[in-house]
Amino acid sequence: MSNQTTLSKIFSFFLVKIIIGIVVVVGSVFLVEWLGRLLLDKTQLNDDTKNLIIAIADVFAALSSYIFLFRYYEKRRIKELSAASFIKNAFIGFMTGLVLQSLFILVIYVFGKYSIIHINPISFLLPSFATAFTAGFVAEIVIVGILFRFAEETLGTFITLLIFFILFVLMHVNVKDATAVSVVSTAIQAGILIPAAYIFSRNLWIPIFLHFAWDFTEPGIFGGINPSISIDKSLLTSKISGASFITGGQMGPQNSVQSLLLCSVAAFIFLWLAKRKNNFIKPSWKK
């Protein structure tokens, strides 16, 4: 009986839940991608089509492994991925990412120089779509759905947000071509804004589609640099020039001063609305 109690305590500890969740979800995605590449490389499909099929398979693997694991592990309904809230929250998330990236480019157009050299076929959106689709779903299921959610349940909302901000600063402070603006911008975007969207809605659709739109719009539509995405096709072949604090320099528009300011405002709005909805969680020792 005591062994069962000890084992139960171990598996209910938030760090153990995080480790198990990451292993299962990331492992499932890795396995599906490996098998998919193995099979698709034997076909005559072009690379863009292969990547799109793999992206869809990766997303399915991430969603299904998360839902099945935590439905069993936590013995609950997975409300954060409810189909009933999908359309509304996916729209809010996608539009948030799209509007923010569009505003970054607008500021460059006004205060720097953004010029469109060529408009390419719609098919040029496929590479960024496939990459952003995978990144949005897999990254936010792992980062927000597992890491942030379990940490917040134990440490509370404020402490977890602070930890995430610091972690993203440390992860990006030594990145090549990083500046103080780019490091703080990234920490606010990934460590505050996206978790804030989750705190506001208590579902994963907003952060997932915010991330998806973010990675899709910047390189795929506007042809801007996104440090985490390497593609050679975009809807608009563009030229960006001007002061690096406006253009983001080698780190791209998402690491500009306007990005830092606008993402801070967006994060504040999400958190303010979340506070009004009483969505903040107290640390477990204060409950």
236, β-bridge pairs: 119
Measured in degrees and rounded to the nearest 5, phi and psi for residue 112 equal -120, -130
What was the pLDDT predicted at 2?
A: 57
What was the pLDDT predicted at 12?
A: 83
Measured in degrees and rounded to the nearest 5, phi and psi for residue 116 equal -95, 120
Q: How far is CA 11 from the centre of its chain?
A: 27
Question: Of 209, 202, 246, which Cα lies nearest the Cα of 224?
Answer: 246
What was the pLDDT predicted at 133?
A: 95
**213: Cβ contacts below 8 Å, ≥ 6 apart:** 93, 94, 95, 96, 97, 98, 101, 132, 136
Question: Do the Cβ atoms of 259 and 185 come closer than 8 Å?
Answer: yes
What pTM value is reported for the model?
0.93
What was the pLDDT predicted at 287?
A: 63
241, β-bridge pairs: 113
Cα–Cα distance for residue pair 257/243, rounded to 1 Å: 10
User: Residue 47: left if φ>0, alpha if ψ -120 to 50, beta else—which one?
Assistant: alpha
Domain boundaries, the chain: 85-286
Long-range CB contacts (within 8 A, 24+) of 276-281: 277/200, 279/157, 279/199, 279/200, 279/202, 280/156, 280/157, 280/158, 280/199, 281/152, 281/153, 281/156, 281/157
**40: Cβ contacts below 8 Å, ≥ 6 apart:** 50, 53, 54
What was the pLDDT predicted at 227?
A: 82
Cα–Cα distance for residue pair 195/266, rounded to 1 Å: 12
Local mean pLDDT, 10-residue blocks, the chain (287 residues): 71 90 97 94 90 96 97 93 94 97 94 90 93 95 97 96 96 87 94 97 97 94 85 88 89 92 97 96 82
Cα-based torsion angle of the residue sequence 54, 55, 57, 59 in order, rounded to the nearest 10 degrees: 160
